[in-house]
Amino acid sequence: MMLRSIAGIVLGLICFQATAQNDPTLQKTPSTRPMKTLSNKETIRKLYEECLNKRNYNLLNDIVSADYTGVRGEKGPVGLENTVKPLIEAFPDIQWKIEDLLEDSDKVVVRWVWQGTHQNSFQGISATNKAVKNEAIAIYQFKNNKVVSVSMQSDRLGFLIQTGVLSPDIIPGAVPKK
């Protein structure tokens, strides 16, 4: 009996699909389909790959909430933009590469590496024209499909050594590069 019910359901679906293919009133058009909401993880990938790497700051309004508060107290999409622009100005060829991207509930954790050439002053550090690589882990929190906060830990020591602010000798037991 149960097998007949399942067969009936499958047959009904096949018939409906065949009817829908021939009846334009049953077909969905792209304009009537609901827009797909990105997962939080996809949103963070879009932040790095489309917004930061391609300098498409207009996307920040789609990604960052007006309620966003950054690590230094900056507010909203403009606050995030004002945080990253000085870095991009100092390292004009900077590109972020996502190494790990994890989503759990309303949080996304990303481990990234950026590389760029230090061509202009940054936070009082004169341009060195050296290639610099920096790594970090950031945790983004979401509300209503937008970023509302972030916490981040980056390799600040490595950054300061690469830009010549600190000597590599500051690290005990470090082997000098030849």
Contact 63, 77 (CB under 8 A): yes
- 146-166, pLDDT tens digit by residue? 999 999 999 999 999 999 999
Domains of the chain listed by start with CATH number: 37-167 (3.10.450.50)
Buried b (16+ CB within 10 A) or exposed e, 71-94: eeeeebbebbbeebeeebebbeeb
Query: pTM for the complete prediction?
Result: 0.75
Q: β-pairing, 64-69 with 146-154?
A: parallel
Q: pLDDT tens across 82-140, in order?
A: 999 999 999 999 999 999 999 999 999 999 999 999 999 999 999 999 999 999 999 99
Q: Give the residue carrying structure tokens 């021939």.
A: 22
CA dihedral 101, 55, 34, 44 (to 10 degrees): 20
Report the side by side order of strands in the sheet with 64-69: 64-69, 146-154, 131-143, 107-117, 95-104
Task: Read off the tokens for 24.
Answer: 């334009």
C-alpha 80/C-alpha 47 separation (Å) is 11
d(CA 154, CA 138): 8
Torsions phi, psi for 60 (to 5 deg): -60, -35
pLDDT tens track for 27-85: 444 444 445 577 999 999 999 999 999 999 999 999 999 999 988 889 999 999 999 99
Cα 12 from Cα 37, distance rounded (Å) = 31
